[in-house]
Structure 1
Amino acid sequence: MLHQTRESLIATLGAQSDAFIMLLEQPQAELPPRASTDYLLVEITLFPGRSDDCKRAAYEALRTLFHDIGLRPEEISLVYIESRSENWFQG
């Protein structure tokens, strides 16, 4: 699933092929109210500049991917966190 997620982000958002993907599992008590154990929150941190249409296309691609593995659309939330390049440091 992570490989397909990365490929979707490359195709729809123009993400780098070495895009970093992290999978975290949260206890049920930390999930939103009424969320089932299948709830999936996708947070994508990226530089600003992509259009709303581009971000919508990425959401639709991921929603289709996750639906194909058995998740219902109402169990999927996606949040874009846009951070300018001067806020990123490495090394």
Structure 2
Amino acid sequence: MPSTRVETRAGWIGDRHDALIAAVQSALVEGIRIPEQDRDIRIIEYPAHAFAPPASKGPGYTIIEVSMFAGRSVEAKRRLYAALVREFAAFGVPAGDVKVVVHDVPRENWGLGGKSAADIELGFKVEV
């Protein structure tokens, strides 16, 4: 059950928010093998004066932060990184303009419905 935040400068997404959310979800399903219906994605667009990317980056520079249960393999994370870059390329964002930060969170540090995620049957495998 990852929680994903996509941060970028305003303007380049236009009216494609639904398509971008679908692209991120597709990458998560492919990369870390979550169920298709397991979705928690937010897009935050900043005005240019409030988002300062490195000078070498283009207008679509994007930071994607994925907080997820600890236990995914390095290979699963590699799949995720590659899938996100591929999906963003379809929006005209070059690979070098996509930064991904993964936060591995122990299940006991994640509360769902008033319970620790360590005490809940998730319905999917985390160790992929």
- TM-score bracket for the superposition, by shorter chain length: 0.7 to 0.9
Question: In 1, distance between residues paired with 2:54 and 2:33?
Answer: 34
Q: In structure 2, what is the Cα distance between the partners aligned to 1:31 and 1:49? A: 33
Q: CA deviation at 1:18?
A: 2.3
Instruction: Name the stretch that deviates more: 19-28 or 43-52.
Output: 19-28
Cα distance in 1 for partners of 2:97, 2:60 equals 6
Task: Tell which has more relative contact order, 1 or 2 (C-alpha 8 A, sep 6+).
Answer: 1
In structure 1, runs of 5+ residues without a counterpart are: none
Q: Give aligned-pair identity as a percent.
A: 29
Q: Alignment partner for residue 42 of structure 1, among 44, 64, 69?
A: 64
Structure 1 residue 72 and structure 2 residue 91: aligned? no
Q: Show the counterpart of 1:23.
A: 43
Normalised TM-score (structure 2): 0.63
Cα distance, 1:86 vs structure 2: 1.2
How far residue 90 of structure 1 moved from its aligned partner, in angstroms, is 3.5
List per-residue Cα deviations over 1:22-62 (Å, max 9, x = no partner): 11113434333314331100101101111111101111011
Question: What is the SS of the residue equivalent to 1:70?
Answer: coil
CA distance in 2, matches of 1:33, 1:68: 22
Q: What is aligned with 1:13? A: 32
* Structure with more helix by fraction: 1
Other-structure match for 1:55 = 77
Mapped to 2, the partners of 1:80 and 1:15 lie a distance apart of: 15
SS at 2:111's partner residue? coil
CA contact (8 A) 2:63 2:98 kept: yes
Which one has a larger percent strand, Structure 1 or Structure 2?
A: 2
Structure 1 stretches of 4+ moved >4 Å: none
Residues 54-87 of structure 1: per-residue CA shift (max 9 Å, x gap)? 1011110110111122011111100001111111
* TM-score, with structure 1 as normaliser: 0.86
CA RMSD of aligned residues (A): 1.6
Displacement of 1:6: 0.6
